[in-house]
Amino acid sequence: MNVELYIYDLSKGLARQWSLPLTGTHIDAIYHTSIVLSGVEYYFGHGIQTAVPGSTHHGQPMEKVHLGETELPNDSYDLFLHNCNNFTQDLSMFLVGKSIPDHIRNLPQTFLSTPFGQMMKPQIEAALRGVTQAPSPVPPAPGAPAQTTPAPVPRSQAQPHKVRVVTNLTQLDHELASASQTCAVIFFTSATCPPCKTVYPVYDELAEEAGPKAVLIKVDISTAYDIAMKYSIRSTPTFKTYLKAQETETWTGANASQLRSNIRLLIEMAHPTHPHRHLHLPTFQRHIPPKSYILYKTTPPLPKLIQKLPPDTQNNPTLLSMTSFITHSHSPANDPNHPLPTTLPTYPSYLQGLLKTTPKESHFAILDLTRLLVLDPRIASYLAEESPTPTTLLSLLPPTDDPATTPYRTKITTLQLTCNLFSSSLSIHTLLSHPILRESTMSILTTALLDKTPTLRAAAASLAYNVAVYNHNARWEGQGDTVPEDDQVQLAASLVEAIGVEEESDEIRQRIVHVTPVHCGGIGNSVRLRRVTPPQPTIAQSRRGTCIVLCEDFRYHFALRKQFGFVTLVIVWWVFVRVSAMSYVGRPSFVLGKKIGHSDWSLDAP
């Protein structure tokens, strides 16, 4: 591949005309250089930039130099020491082992060796502090038709959480379109505006602070004439703000405090703080520590457990290694950082093979063995990061075709194993992000919450708590929901129904009631549970008293709304606790002035 050097004159001929009378030294040009390789122009400005050859804002090169051929398929810009010419020199030496012309590379030293250059150096450095070259359009794919105008930089290729510098209307329209669902700020500046440069650091800081919540744009109207004309910009600095694609405010002046307050207010308007955060509810307005996850650590008699496995595998070295590791891990003198077994790499294939050769009614023994292994977060992470797919976890937690035909022992060990996978953040992420694993988890969870066996309902409530806490923490840390909303709605409906039908165990009911506000507190859209029996002002009944009543016309919906859901739920939850404490079997309970009766409920889309 040919390697070419593109040479530009940034002064557009002025250096040749005025250098001798000003400095006493003739300077042909103020050089900017770039390397062209395989149809792409590489140059250094705000980091390494790329462009279609000759399409940058520098115009056409004054000279093209063929440097040779090659077989090969930083933001620290300094005008005198680390500039575009230093970059092309290093890249040229790397590619072809040849230096660019000395008169280009040594221009800073030539200029600084003159008295005028020494005098001007501090002023030049101060004027250019924080100023870098503008980003360039992205080159088209090979074979694509040439573009007559520079293409906008795709959002995915823009500098993340940094000010986006645009040079024409096409790029500006693209950036504003990318912020149509959030907010944007345009900073109109110019190369001859000293006050503008004083707020450059503040604007950069606000861009990093805003992250993906806002698009901060900078336009130099001394070069972007079309933008200046369209927006009628008469002075700099001028700022314009946009909320949901609508212009909201325009102001001028280099007031850093005003800039900070206006942009932060704009972001708050585009992304209002959830009303839950305004409530004084310390129990929910905090990060819940991972140590609160419910794990099942009881160790059964291992010899009896192994007897459930095929006889020909009971003396397998991998199985012996597993039992030895479990025994050592659960000993009183256990060191949590004790070495992992050397046979760990054989565990996944052994477990997968064992599931294939063991009768389904004995799968619980394999699940229970794995439950004890994944109590060590290192093993849980090891199983979760199998590449390209978590095959072992998919084998252990397959989607259940018919929960009614699944043996009880398989159900309970599956629930307990899934709870224990919360020992590692990596295994939690895999469990809730992989579509099949998440579907399997939500299926057995929502089914078990309504199972007739109390131990299954208790284990399901524990798993629901773990899922709710992980999702709550993700919301609290600003990561958004990790569980899709459809699954959240399904789980919320199951929790509400489970509260209503739980009659055997106060402990299970209290556990579910404790989970419900943690889980439901952040569901975004409406969750409506509509009656299927004749209208009555109820949602569910328990002989010990029940929880929630909301009426909407004659349809009687239970709605968890984004603006009011958490407030309503907390009030209702508090009423439920008070009512449950006062009620007894056969005694009618009242919630919000309405008598509670019996009804059946089903999920209804908003």
DSSP secondary structure string for all residues of 248-270: EEEEES--HHHHHHHHHHHHHHH
Tell me, yes or no, if 519 is annotated catalytic.
Answer: no
| Long-range contacts of the stretch 581-586 (C-beta < 8 A, 24+) | 582/545, 583/544, 583/545, 584/544, 585/543, 585/544, 586/543
The H helix count followed by the E strand count for the chain is: 23, 15
For residue 88, what are its two tokens? 């092309």
Residue with tokens 């600084």: 112
**Phi, psi dihedral angles at 534 (to 5 degrees):** -55, 150
* Residue partners of 379: CB distance under 8 A and separation at least 6: 340, 344, 347, 373
Helix axes 454-476, 506-520, angle to 10 degrees: 20
For residue 360, what are its two tokens? 């389904």
| Long-range contacts of the stretch 470-478 (C-beta < 8 A, 24+) | 470/422, 470/428, 470/432, 471/519, 471/522, 472/284, 472/288, 472/518, 472/519, 472/521, 472/522, 473/287, 473/288, 473/290, 475/522, 476/286, 476/287, 477/287
Residue with tokens 């395989």: 38
Which of 32, 58, 276, 519 is the catalytic position? 32
Sign of the CA dihedral 453, 457, 460, 462?
negative
DSSP secondary structure string for all residues of 291-304: GGS----PPP-HHH
Edge-to-edge, what's the strand order for the sheet holding 528-531?
557-559, 528-531, 601-604
Tell me, yes or no, if 514 is annotated catalytic.
Answer: no
Amino acid in position 148? T
For residue 38, what are its two tokens? 């395989």
Total number of residues shown for the chain: 606
Whether residue 237 has a cis bond before it, omega within 30° of 0? yes
CB 431 within 8 A of CB 383: no
Q: From CA 555, how far away is CA 599, in angstroms rounded?
A: 13
Number of alpha carbons in the 13 Å side-chain half-sphere of residue 582: 11
DSSP secondary structure string for all residues of 363-393: HHHHHHHHHHHTTSHHHHHHHHT-SSS-HHH
Nearest alpha-carbon partner for 305 in 393, 206, 372? 372
For residue 151, what are its two tokens? 């293409």
For residue 350, what are its two tokens? 């052994």
Q: From CA 439, how far away is CA 318, in angstroms rounded?
A: 30
Radius of gyration of the chain (CA): 33
Residue with tokens 């693209």: 174
Judged by DSSP in three states, 558 sits in strand
Which of 46, 58, 84, 419 is the catalytic position? 84
Q: Which residues are catalytic?
A: 32, 84
